[in-house]
A = this chain, B = another copy of it.
Amino acid sequence: MDFSIEPSDAALRDRVRSFVEQKIIPYERDPRLTSHGPTDELRIELNALAREAGLLAPHVTSHFGGLGLSHVQRALVFEAAGYSTLGPIALHCAAPDEGNMHLLEIVADQRQKERFLRPLARADIRSCFAMTEPHPGAGSDPSQLATRADRDGDHFVISGNKWLITGADGAGFMIVMARAFDDAEELGPTMFLASMPNDAIKISRIIGSMDSSFTGAHAQVEFAGLRVHRDDVLGEIGEGLRYAQVRLAPARLTHCMRWLGAATRAHDIATEYATKRRAFGSTLIRHEGVGFMLADNEIELHMCRLAILDVAWRLDKGDPGRHESSMAKVFVSEALFRIADRCMQILGGLGVTHDTQVERIFREVRTFRIYDGPSEVHRWAIANRLARKQEAL
């Protein structure tokens, strides 16, 4: 049992934190950070800074130009990056690209890696992941997957609609989840790689959303006879749901890491304000009504860090840690929201304005209780595992 952090890892974390504070935070008031997220122009400018600092795509193996960080190292670095909501964009370790790179490294074949992963890892392009669908299609329940991929010789023809596809607008390629068919025979959920822009992938609209930190926002997408060659099937036909798990378990955890950084930022802003602002005879922090909220933040930030490191350590030793990963997702997403909510409350009127980053962080963090499986789906999964274990006794 050893909770200590390698000095070299701590140094890297601190380097990332300094980079974010000095180089990235000044961009937080850049007009190219729109209500739909940073523009690609801004994103490219930030990527250049990270590249120059040797910090681009830290999670990617050195073969593809990254730092090859372990999951525990990612925990440290991604949290530091997340101290600004623009940090993960800059380091190119934001969703959905980060998860896509992870997935491609594990599942893609050599040709696919060269064609899709290499330019993505260099941040020459962005990518998107098209799984969720409008009602009544697949949402939390992937069994409702309605998009079809019908075999036509060496190709699959994909038809259907996707919804809330983060980063689709401007992406260089898309990973599409569709239910494959060979005539009447269903081959099962399958992942496909499709270059973009692509006439057969129509961005129907950009969906306005409470969050605004993803480049390319969230789009509704329509497939109009999209043809994908069998060589662009990602992994095996019919294994799409399994790969989704390969992608999701760590992707969920990296969301925890980045937003832990964001919540820490909000807490720092609230602490500084509460120490400076006076009301009713003392500084706010010396009022228990405020001090106790900050104490709860301290406690929950600490607990989130422990929960994340525990799962990261499991992933590093090859344990998929599905139970712990679900538990961490629920705990961290809910705790971060409480933290952001308290920070907003402490700031009072200032907290609901755009004058500090707290308002933005509050909105971003709220979505995390829904993204990557809402709390309710994870609670169900946790209870289900417990039930099966007990029923088997």
Which residues of chain A have a CB within 8 Å of any CB of chain B?
1-6, 35, 72, 132, 135-136, 139-141, 144, 163-164, 207-211, 218, 271-272, 275-280, 283, 285-292, 294-296, 298-299, 302-303, 306-307, 309-310, 312-314, 323-324, 327, 330-331, 344-345, 348-355, 359, 362-363, 366-367, 369-371, 374-376, 378-380, 382-384, 386-387, 390-391
Residue of B nearest to A324 (CB): B302
- Complex formed: what's the CA distance from A135 to B350 in Å? 10
User: For the complex, would chain A's binding face be called helix, strand, loop or mixed by DSSP majority?
Assistant: helix
- Complex formed: what's the CA distance from A236 to B20 in Å? 50
Partner of A278, one of B144, B275, B283, B375: B144
| Contact present for A275 and B391 (CB under 8 Å) | yes
| Contact present for B379 and A296 (CB under 8 Å) | yes
Min CB distance, A210 to chain B, in Å? 5
- Complex formed: what's the CA distance from A249 to B278 in Å? 24
Q: How many copies of this chain does one complex carry?
A: 4
Answer whether A291 and B345 are a contact pair too, CB < 8 Å, given A3-B1, A352-B367, A390-B272: no
A-B contact pairs, 19 of them (CB 8 A): A1-B3, A1-B312, A3-B3, A139-B279, A164-B349, A207-B353, A209-B353, A209-B359, A210-B363, A275-B387, A275-B390, A275-B391, A288-B380, A289-B292, A291-B380, A291-B387, A295-B386, A306-B306, A352-B367
Answer whether A1 and B1 are a contact pair too, CB < 8 Å, given A140-B279, A289-B380, A380-B291: no
Min CB distance, A283 to chain B, in Å? 8
| Contact present for A387 and B285 (CB under 8 Å) | yes
B-side contacts of A286, CB under 8 Å: 387
Min CB distance, A32 to chain B, in Å? 16
| Contact present for B5 and A2 (CB under 8 Å) | no
Answer whether A379 and B291 are a contact pair too, CB < 8 Å, given A72-B1, A306-B306: yes
Besides A210-B363, A292-B376, A299-B331, 8 other A-B contacts (C-beta < 8 A): A1-B2, A140-B348, A163-B349, A208-B354, A285-B390, A292-B380, A296-B379, A306-B306
B-side contacts of A4, CB under 8 Å: 1
Residue of B nearest to A309 (CB): B1
Which among A1, A299, A306, A387 has the greatest number of chain B C-beta atoms within 10 A?
A1
B-side contacts of A380, CB under 8 Å: 280, 288-289, 291-292, 295
Min CB distance, A258 to chain B, in Å? 17
Report, nearest first, the 4 A-B pairs whose CB atoms are least far apart: A291-B383, A208-B354, A288-B288, A295-B382
Answer whether A307 and B309 are a contact pair too, CB < 8 Å, given A353-B207, A379-B292: no
B-side contacts of A313, CB under 8 Å: 1-3
Partner of A352, one of B211, B292, B310: B211
- Complex formed: what's the CA distance from A303 to B387 in Å? 20
| Contact present for B208 and A379 (CB under 8 Å) | no
- Complex formed: what's the CA distance from A378 to B344 in Å? 17
Min CB distance, A242 to chain B, in Å? 19
